[in-house]
Amino acid sequence: MKLVVYLTDACSLCDQALDMMFGMPELNGHLLETIDIAPDDSLLEQFGESIPVLELADRRLFWPFTEDDIRKLVQTVSSHSLE
């Protein structure tokens, strides 16, 4: 599965979110894509106040989110893909 994190450079909350995710062994093997929203006016308007934002299969978590929130998101998406 591909996890997408919308963020910007020099965002301490974004760094916290990435550090948390990198420390989660259950995310090993998942592809992680980061998208800088700063150069894209549309993304900046959509996510500017909410970054970091984690997206998985069209489902989103807006900051602040926890490891448990991420686990639940991954489980939900995984269980839906098995149906």
pLDDT at 12 over 80: yes
Mapped onto helix, strand or coil, the DSSP state of residue 83 is coil
CB contact at 8 A, 62 and 46: no
Q: Average of pLDDT values for 5-11?
A: 95
Q: Please report which confidence band the pLDDT of residue 80 belongs to, taking 50, 70 and 90 as the band edges.
A: confident
Domain count across the chain: 1
The CATH number given to whatever domain includes residue 14 is 3.40.30.10
46: left (phi over 0), alpha (psi -120 to 50) or beta: alpha
pLDDT at 78 over 90: no
Q: Which residues pair with 36 in a beta bridge?
A: 7
Q: In this structure, what token pair is assigned to residue 25?
A: 């062994």
Range of the domain at 15: 2-82
Among residues 24, 5, 15, the alpha carbon closest in space to that of 75 is found at 24
